[in-house]
Structure 1
Amino acid sequence: MIRLLRPLALLAGLLLTLRPVAFADEGMWLPLLLKQLNEKDMQKKGLKLSAEDIYSINKGSLKDAVVQFGGGCTGEIISDQGLLLTNHHCGYGQIQQHSSVEKDYLTKGYWAMDRSQELANPGLTATFIVRMEDVTKQVLAGIAPGTAEAEREKQVQANGQKVAQAAIQGTHYQSFVRPMFGGNEYYLFVTEVFQDVRLVGAPPSSIGKFGGDTDNWAWPRHTGDFSIFRIYAGPDNKPAAYSPQNVPFKPRHHLPISLAGVKPGDFTLVFGFPGRTNEYLTSWGVDEIYSVDDPARVKVRTALLKIWDQDMLASDKVRIQYAAKYASIANYWKKWQGEMRGLKKLDAVQRKRNQEAEFSKWVAADPGRQAAYGTLLADLQRNYTQERDYVLARAYVSEAAFGVELLKFANAFVPVADLIAAKAPAAEVKAAADKLRTGIAGFFRNYNAPTDQKVAAALLPLYADNTPAALLPEYVKSLKAQNTNAESWTRFAADLFAKTRLATEAGANKVVDDLLAGNAASLTSDPAYQLASAVQNTLRAQIQPTYQAAADNITLLQRSYVAALRQWQTSRTFYPDANSTLRVAYGQVAGYQPADGMRYDYYTTLDGIMEKADPTNPEFEVSPRLVELYQKKDYGPYAVNGTVPVAFTATNHTTGGNSGSPVINGRGELIGLNFDRAWESTMSDIMFDPDRVRNIAMDVRYLLFVVDKFAGAGHLVKEMTLVGTPGESPKAPAVKKVKVKVKS
């Protein structure tokens, strides 16, 4: 939520006007190409290192301190004993798995006071990039121009697999090949994947999630969004499965931590694994997101989150069960709202149309370009028009129909039923059923059927009413005819949950037993399975084929469009869209002006936490221990001008996946932990706006203060390499004395 500024913030804003105007720096750059494309510009803006210091395969470099944390975040190594820092929201799932009503680490936090207390996390990995290489020629070898997209992709996958396997033969490394620029180029990534990653420390939610959904995607921000893990390795320092005999990993490089602080104009480098951007879409692609996909998903999630929130507030058990799921769903729910808002403010669709008009003039000016690109835009428009209803239908299947957890769970039984119907060998059926059974316990550990029944009553009518009629299963059409208001859908949901056996762990296991005994009717007669299979069958038979055909055509045409853009805009330095591969973004510390009459300074402090404190609102509760430290001004060496810095903004181009990324200064030292973007910046996944794009980072001094003074885990700080002396950030305006109320 964007809040109007208080007089204090207005004064800070006036001070900001005296500083040079800062513009965001667009680009998520491949580290391999920094020497060629970015080194001089980065050094001009304050980098004291060389490109070789950032990415090297011959010596330890910054890349060797950066990992992909799990499958969707970034982490960084901050000690020579494998200590790993990432966001609290990135480690949230692991913290939840270790939590219970009796041991509520989500609420109270967790700190391992010695190595024996560090908690294992089965399935969690930390992935280093060993090296990357341009392998475009090898991947595209033997693929003729004009090859159909499906056949081309098959050949690309085969060639890429050969390249990847050859690169790691005889080693313990892993590898993969990823497309860049829509498949005009391909890069090999060789990785080292560690499997023993243990939880070391996490602050309480009152710090790690301070501000909750209200402050999410917003500035000013006061969240201590961090958690600490440790990578363990075998005796040879190589990846190994969990074992009590494993030892802390010794990295090639770890990041020193700066106490010097930040000021406007300071160079910032964000190193991480950004997930996905679509910077080169046409106007039809942008409009599809803005007008179709985002609105549908926001509409459904609004209803879902309201129900989850009510039940989580009513029960500690449900709160813990749904904590990670809620956070994940809510994060993108609010992000998409900001994205739509930003795209509207930029008039993004019209700006893309204007670009396409200029592009068409460039094409028309040359016969060769006319032959290559003359119908390109018209073909893209036709395919986007063709898939529009199917995009909407897919959104309502995934968000509404399978937003009901029971139906999503029942859908997992479909492959087993398909094997039985096809009279597959008994051994094959058993293997599929056994695999299904292994997921049952995990599902029910974080599932509450009464909550899901309420969700079904709310989401099923949204699915029935908003899916294009031609793409709605006949079974659901009949339900829609029978249930014409909220009360009747509520009765239907109650009846569904009363009759299904898939809403309990015992019932689901009994269905698996029946399947293995040859009793397929135990599943096929179940009402939850019947509804889920109707949705899934319609998706597979009616929705997905047409959608996929149009999407494949768009992929092929988009590849040509990106190639043409690079040929046309010769003065522009292009970067590939994010695709969860290691990237560098660089910029500078800066405040910003998101809207008329609003100016935000570049930093927040502990004083702001105390101003926001509200014991009646769980999102803004403040720990009594933090209040005690604040009142005593017991800040240790982490204070600046009588308070503790909490967060700052900079102009780096970031997206999902950059959560947990290190924010590094010009000397290669850690100054912050990236955890968010300003709400006005979320459209930067699609269209970049240098005036408004700001990433939000937790100041590393707040991390040190919480670990050392709040948690009493100074042994962790002693592991780290602290450099510099506490900086003299611009003196904040005088702050009125704050009387803090906390829960007793």
Structure 2
Amino acid sequence: MNRKNILLSAILFPAVMAFGQQYGGMWIPTELNEKEMKDLGMKISAKDIFDPSKPSIKDAVVQFNGGCTAEIISPQGLLLTNHHCGYGIIQGHSSVKNDYLSDGFWAKDMNGELANPGVTVDFIADIKEVTGQVLAGTQNLDDKASQAAINANIEKVKAGFKLEDWQKVVIKPVYYGNKYYAYIIETYKDIRLVGAPPSSIGKFGSDTDNWVWPRHTGDFSMFRIYADKNNKPAEYSKDNIPYKPKYFLPVSIKDKQENDFTFVFGFPGRTTEYLPAIAVEKIMTEIDPAMIGVREVALKTLNEKMRTDNETRIKYASKYASVANYWKKWIGEVEGLKKSDAVGKKKVYEQTLIAKNPNIKPTIDQLNQLYTEQAPYALNRSYYSEVMRNAETLSLANQYLNFMQSYEEGKINDQNLSAFKNRLTSTYKDYSGELDAKVTAQLLALYANKTPEQFLPANFSQLKDADKNLDTVENWSKKSVVTGRGMMNGATAISDIDKVFANPAELIKNLKNDPIIQWTAAIKNTYLTKTEGKYAELQSQIDVLQKKFMAQQMETDKDRKFFPDANSTLRVTYGQVKGSNPKDAVYYGYQTHLAGVMEKYIPGDYEFDVPKKLVNIYNTKDYGIYKDKTGDVPVNFTATNHTTGGNSGSPALDANGNLIGLNFDRQWEGTMSDINFDPRFSRNIMVDTKYILFIVDKYADAKWLLKEMKIVK
């Protein structure tokens, strides 16, 4: 396979890129930075985007199943989101006979759409600032009393809203508690699967291309919202009808040009843009490197086995991808923070603020002192959490420890015992005790070597040698319930989990003598005693000061347009279609094409296989109206929109509010945007609507869906 990176000479790219946008921003849609949006090319108004009094674009944007974003693209409630957002739902409908993950699924008509009990979408009917009501009477209270008053005020404010039966109100803080907003939410509960491409399209590139550009992934799936006969939310019923939206998005298949304006509307999860310089420095130099280091050891150990054993490769593929996901993200984050000089810029900004307002200096000095004092505890917290998460044997032991505690406190009933056994069964399904013994041996050695003695259990220094640890862990395993080798009650394998729990009192007795349980308990208890409490105490003090620092920034810097950090509420971000120049003499174009899919094609590969039908379409060049000026079908594109987790599935819209893409990832070199957005490097990655409609039309032959849409040519 020819794996071109589409790297061009630096002479094709200006030495200094000109950017119109000063900052990124995840803007509350009632408080948009409309001037800068229009300066960058937006043709519509802020009222066209969000207006509670009449239909607007916000009426087509929903939070999908509590995590991702989705958008309505037809007058019959047709919903578009990412393939990875619908993956678990598609998987739930799949079987050996109907393998929708491998083969894709396309309903032939509405009668063929598949119900999904428990899946929901949330509309935001309105947003109201309620800061004055929430903070009333808190000015002269200490922190604890103030929070109690805020909690009581929130309940009063919520009770004061007049809601329909199908509505609820949620109140959330922003700017570290300096402001509060109320969100009126309408939840629809009958969401049906309409269509999804095969994983070889929807997850093309899988782990290797994750966070990476150039990208060639058709990461989309389609659902439909159903409602009762009055168009109101209802539980699933065969009598429900397709939801008639107040607004739906026209779908544009016009060609894109560099510097075209674009905005993304969705529910971003979490960002921390206003931290002091010292906090960013600790993340960049201590916290991220610690977490990267743990996952690097785990991945290397897994990879050695997966490369030589096909059964292990298949069993651990999903697990490996999960571990690698944030490992890769954190590496990009560290490099991006360094390259954009995030710490240096923040230090300069802090001095600028102090020059304008000397009262800020004591706040920054106290934050510096607290972060310095917290640093060893924060570092141990990072190592501990990552070791316990990535050494599955320790993670399982921790689950058993939680069970033991709950049992001895009399908190175990049939319901939570069943849930606990189900979690164990799910973990054991893809667990190799022999392989994880190697991972655990390595990570115990790393923890012993990287952790100061004050944070280690007694005698833990004997675990500094990974090779010796392997013998030790294997000896533990022979006597351990955790690994399935020290089973009881006649159980012969992990699959006999019911027999293991047949006599809980006897199980508890055995667990207390289990060497893996004993060592895990020692690690955990030492962490809880020496680290967690002190870390939390200092973090509480930091949070109080961060709230003050945030208020001081906003009061002092009158020239800056502030936006609140993401908190999973509805936001608008904007930018321009752009390629990038992440390294010297390296230029990434803003658009990829179907030809690039074929360049990466490896028949039979779990990441880079291509369906035969798509290969045939490519060979015959049966592109129809979906080719662009190059004669090829565009697949993905990048822009300078400020996105994060939760923006998966968000609509990317053009200057006139037409849907032009579906957000699904970020470019690796700009993943620091959660902490420090830099338009030179930060890029979000989107599926082009041309490719989505091309797959629906030419590959899936689902033309009946196209007839529902308003397609802008």
Same fold (TM over 0.5): yes
Structure 2 residue 146 is matched with structure 1 residue 152: yes
Distance 1:155 1:329 in 2: 41
Q: Contact conserved, 1:23 with 1:651, CA < 8 A, in 2?
A: no
Q: Within 5 Å, give how 1:332-347 maps onto structure 2.
A: 332-347=326-341
Q: Contact conserved, 2:477 with 2:516, CA < 8 A, in 1?
A: no
In the superposition, relative to structure 1, how do residues 209 and 654 fare at CA in structure 2: closer, same or farther (>3 Å)? same
Aligned to 1:288: 282
- How big is each residue's C-alpha offset from its partner over 1:20-64, in whole Å with a ceiling of 9 and x where there is no partner? 844555111100112xxx223323333222212111111221111
In structure 1, the gaps of 5 or more residues are: 726-744
TM-score, normalised on structure 2?
0.89
Task: Tell me which amino acid in the other structure corresponds to 2:711.
Answer: L
Q: Secondary structure at the match of 1:89?
A: helix
Distance 2:314 2:193 in 1: 18
Q: Contact conserved, 2:316 with 2:430, CA < 8 A, in 1?
A: no
Q: Secondary structure at the match of 2:551?
A: helix
Q: Contact conserved, 1:233 with 1:240, CA < 8 A, in 2?
A: yes
Aligned to 1:110: 105
TM-score, normalised on structure 1?
0.86
In the superposition, relative to structure 1, how do residues 682 and 450 fare at CA in structure 2: closer, same or farther (>3 Å)? closer
In the superposition, relative to structure 1, how do residues 31 and 285 fare at CA in structure 2: closer, same or farther (>3 Å)? same
Structure 2 residue 645 is matched with structure 1 residue 652: no
In the superposition, relative to structure 1, how do residues 612 and 321 fare at CA in structure 2: closer, same or farther (>3 Å)? closer
In the superposition, relative to structure 1, how do residues 23 and 105 fare at CA in structure 2: closer, same or farther (>3 Å)? farther
Distance 2:458 2:514 in 1: 18
Structure 2 residue 663 is matched with structure 1 residue 693: no
Aligned to 1:444: 425
Q: Within 5 Å, give how 1:274-673 maps onto structure 2.
A: 274-306=268-300, 325-364=319-358, 369=359, 373-405=360-392, 407-414=394-401, 416-422=403-409, 424=410, 429-431=411-413, 433-441=414-422, 443-445=424-426, 447-448=428-429, 450-451=431-432, 453-459=434-440, 460-461=443-444, 462-474=446-458, 484-493=468-477, 495-496=479-480, 497=483, 498-499=485-486, 507-510=496-499, 512-515=501-504, 520-521=508-509, 524-526=512-514, 529-615=517-603, 617-641=605-629, 642-673=631-662
Name which of structure 1's ranges 386-395 and 270-279 shifts more when overlaid on structure 2. 386-395
In the superposition, relative to structure 1, how do residues 695 and 506 fare at CA in structure 2: closer, same or farther (>3 Å)? closer
- How big is each residue's C-alpha offset from its partner over 1:637-671, in whole Å with a ceiling of 9 and x where there is no partner? 21123210111111211112111110011221100
Structure 2 residue 173 is matched with structure 1 residue 179: yes
Q: Contact conserved, 1:96 with 1:320, CA < 8 A, in 2?
A: no
Q: CA deviation at 1:479?
A: 6.0
In the superposition, relative to structure 1, how do residues 21 and 358 fare at CA in structure 2: closer, same or farther (>3 Å)? closer
Q: Contact conserved, 1:16 with 1:601, CA < 8 A, in 2?
A: no
In the superposition, relative to structure 1, how do residues 5 and 455 fare at CA in structure 2: closer, same or farther (>3 Å)? same
Q: Contact conserved, 2:220 with 2:692, CA < 8 A, in 1?
A: yes
Q: Contact conserved, 1:464 with 1:472, CA < 8 A, in 2?
A: yes
In the superposition, relative to structure 1, how do residues 57 and 711 fare at CA in structure 2: closer, same or farther (>3 Å)? same
Task: Tell me which amino acid in the other structure corresponds to 2:436.
Answer: V
Aligned pair partner of 1:49 in 23, 44, 68 = 44
Name which of structure 1's ranges 101-110 and 38-47 shifts more when overlaid on structure 2. 101-110
In the superposition, relative to structure 1, how do residues 80 and 587 fare at CA in structure 2: closer, same or farther (>3 Å)? same
Q: CA deviation at 1:206?
A: 2.0
Q: Contact conserved, 1:96 with 1:324, CA < 8 A, in 2?
A: no
Distance 1:452 1:60 in 2: 57
Name which of structure 1's ranges 689-698 and 21-30 shifts more when overlaid on structure 2. 21-30
Q: Within 5 Å, give how 1:30-45 maps onto structure 2.
A: 30-34=28-32, 38-45=33-40
Structure 2 residue 51 is matched with structure 1 residue 59: no
In the superposition, relative to structure 1, how do residues 304 and 55 fare at CA in structure 2: closer, same or farther (>3 Å)? same
Q: CA deviation at 1:327?
A: 4.2
Task: Tell me which amino acid in the other structure corresponds to 1:33.
Answer: E
Q: Secondary structure at the match of 1:575?
A: coil
Structure 2 residue 113 is matched with structure 1 residue 124: no
User: Cα RMSD over matched residues?
Assistant: 3.2
Task: Tell me which amino acid in the other structure corresponds to 1:661.
Answer: S
- How big is each residue's C-alpha offset from its partner over 1:54-96, in whole Å with a ceiling of 9 and x where there is no partner? 1111122111111112233211111222222111222223333
Q: CA deviation at 1:128?
A: 1.4
Aligned pair partner of 1:90 in 85, 93, 96 = 85
Aligned pair partner of 1:26 in 24, 27, 30 = 24
Q: CA deviation at 1:573?
A: 0.6
In the superposition, relative to structure 1, how do residues 16 and 290 fare at CA in structure 2: closer, same or farther (>3 Å)? closer
Name which of structure 1's ranges 87-96 and 306-315 shifts more when overlaid on structure 2. 306-315
Task: Tell me which amino acid in the other structure corresponds to 2:371.
Answer: Y
Q: Contact conserved, 1:224 with 1:646, CA < 8 A, in 2?
A: yes
Q: Secondary structure at the match of 1:30?
A: coil
Task: Tell me which amino acid in the other structure corresponds to 1:457.
Answer: K
Q: Secondary structure at the match of 1:672?
A: strand
Q: CA deviation at 1:18?
A: 12
Distance 1:56 1:579 in 2: 21
Q: Contact conserved, 1:296 with 1:395, CA < 8 A, in 2?
A: yes
Task: Tell me which amino acid in the other structure corresponds to 2:419.
Answer: T
Q: Contact conserved, 1:95 with 1:106, CA < 8 A, in 2?
A: yes
Task: Tell me which amino acid in the other structure corresponds to 1:716.
Answer: L
Identical pairs, percent: 46
Q: CA deviation at 1:180?
A: 1.0
In the superposition, relative to structure 1, how do residues 513 and 153 fare at CA in structure 2: closer, same or farther (>3 Å)? farther
Q: CA deviation at 1:314?
A: 8.4
In structure 2, the gaps of 5 or more residues are: none
Q: CA deviation at 1:521?
A: 2.9
Task: Tell me which amino acid in the other structure corresponds to 2:367.
Answer: L
Distance 1:435 1:291 in 2: 41
Name which of structure 1's ranges 502-511 and 557-566 shifts more when overlaid on structure 2. 502-511
- How big is each residue's C-alpha offset from its partner over 1:289-312, in whole Å with a ceiling of 9 and x where there is no partner? 112221122222234345666777
In the superposition, relative to structure 1, how do residues 133 and 409 fare at CA in structure 2: closer, same or farther (>3 Å)? farther
- How big is each residue's C-alpha offset from its partner over 1:307-336, in whole Å with a ceiling of 9 and x where there is no partner? 666777889997787665554443222111
Q: CA deviation at 1:226?
A: 1.2
Task: Tell me which amino acid in the other structure corresponds to 1:76.
Answer: E
Distance 2:230 2:322 in 1: 37
Q: Contact conserved, 1:321 with 1:446, CA < 8 A, in 2?
A: no
Q: Contact conserved, 1:454 with 1:493, CA < 8 A, in 2?
A: no
Distance 1:78 1:28 in 2: 23
Distance 1:283 1:438 in 2: 43
- How big is each residue's C-alpha offset from its partner over 1:339-358, in whole Å with a ceiling of 9 and x where there is no partner? 01111112322322222333
Distance 2:596 2:383 in 1: 40
Q: CA deviation at 1:484?
A: 3.4
Aligned pair partner of 2:691 in 702, 706, 716 = 702
In the superposition, relative to structure 1, how do residues 505 and 630 fare at CA in structure 2: closer, same or farther (>3 Å)? same
Name which of structure 1's ranges 297-306 and 483-492 shifts more when overlaid on structure 2. 483-492
Distance 1:173 1:76 in 2: 20
- How big is each residue's C-alpha offset from its partner over 1:610-662, in whole Å with a ceiling of 9 and x where there is no partner? 22223375432222211100111111221123210111111211112111110
In the superposition, relative to structure 1, how do residues 15 and 96 fare at CA in structure 2: closer, same or farther (>3 Å)? same
Name which of structure 1's ranges 94-103 and 591-600 shifts more when overlaid on structure 2. 94-103
In the superposition, relative to structure 1, how do residues 157 and 464 fare at CA in structure 2: closer, same or farther (>3 Å)? farther
Aligned to 1:164: 158
In the superposition, relative to structure 1, how do residues 569 and 186 fare at CA in structure 2: closer, same or farther (>3 Å)? same
Name which of structure 1's ranges 574-583 and 686-695 shifts more when overlaid on structure 2. 686-695
